[in-house]
Amino acid sequence: MVEIVLCTDENYVMPTSVLTTSIGLTNPNLEIHYNIVSTKLDQKFKDQLSRHLGNANSSISFYSLDESCLKDCPIRPGEHVSLATYIRLFLPSILPQDLDKVLYIDGDVICTGSIQELWETPLASHAAAAVPDMRCNDIRILNRLSLPKDSDYFNAGIMLINLKWWRDNDIQNKALHYIANNQDICQYHDQDALNVILHGLIAELPICYNLQEHFFEPLKDQFISRSHFEELQTALSNPSLIHYTGFRKPWHRECVNPLKSVWLFFYDKTEWRNTKLGFRHKGFRLFKYRLREKIANYGLMTSKNIYKDMDFSDIQQAVMNKVKSKVK
């Protein structure tokens, strides 16, 4: 059985349901157990999540974390993450003690292929397995965290976690202690803390298991080593897990991710299918955004759509063909 962990709150119930729908539909024969962890989740939201497991081989359990445990975990004004991002640090103590390995996935992810091979990745003495972050070799990040310049900073949005190793090495408390004492340094929250305390202990996963938004930009603009370029090009057309890491998510009308249509494909298979997508921006910010885009159409201002002049039609077609071949 594949043990998947999803940390959510009431604002992320819909995206999380789209994610579980995509996992179940693209892995119809896989036995999956979802462990849903939150600080507070009313029964109606639990019922919604329970209705979107994707296949008949799936089951679900709910766990709750007292929000007071997150008192030293900062979220800065204007950030597009919530306190739920820190919940994954508490998995060693929240989840059943006989659970030794879990696949953690962020709620802004969609599944387009098999996760069986990912689940079977050997961890041995590694703390976890993860994909390099889209800015993994950005010297600014490595300097900020005092990591060696040859480090591969990893993305914590999708991790195959050696839960027993985390318990044996007290990763929960080490990470919380680091965050409490380095709040100005942890720009990317618990991901920064995990990169510091787990440095050298992460098995590297293929990029196809965490295709992040910046990977769509030209190779000359990438913050990853050239050694990843060939793998990256392959992953763009054949991802298994797409991670919508941008500020504007695919459930926002402003989202310009080249593979937004893949997320919408699975969204249309949920109970929200007839609900119109909303805007990420509100009030005057929304007015400015829409005005800017109109002016940009006349070439008088740079568009917020960084992909406007790039052709992703081949990639989009390849990924949609893959999805439709799996989802009957």
The fold adopted by the segment(s) 2-326 is Spore Coat Polysaccharide Biosynthesis Protein SpsA; Chain A (3.90.550)
Are 159 and 128 in contact, with CB atoms under 8 Å apart?
A: yes
Quote the CA–CA distance of 25 and 325 in Å, as a whole number: 11
Strand (E) or helix (H) holding 128: strand 128-132
Tens of pLDDT along 39-48?
889 999 999 9
Amino acid identity at 294 = K
Give pTM, 2 decimals.
0.93
Neighbouring residues of 217: CB distance < 8 A, sequence distance ≥ 6: 306
Label residue 186 by pLDDT band (50, 70, 90). Answer: confident
Are 8 and 85 in contact, with CB atoms under 8 Å apart?
A: no
Q: Is the pLDDT of residue 314 over 60?
A: yes
Q: What is the DSSP string of 140-193?
A: HHHHHTT--TT--PEEEEEEEEEHHHHHHTTHHHHHHHHHHH-TTT-TTHHHHH
The alpha-helical segments, DSSP class H, found in the chain are 13-26, 43-50, 91-94, 116-119, 139-144, 163-168, 171-181, 189-197, 229-237, 260-267, 283-296, 313-326
Q: Is the pLDDT of residue 52 over 60?
A: yes
Quote the pLDDT of residue 54. Answer: 87
| Nearest C-alpha neighbor of 240 from the set 107, 102, 103, 118 | 118
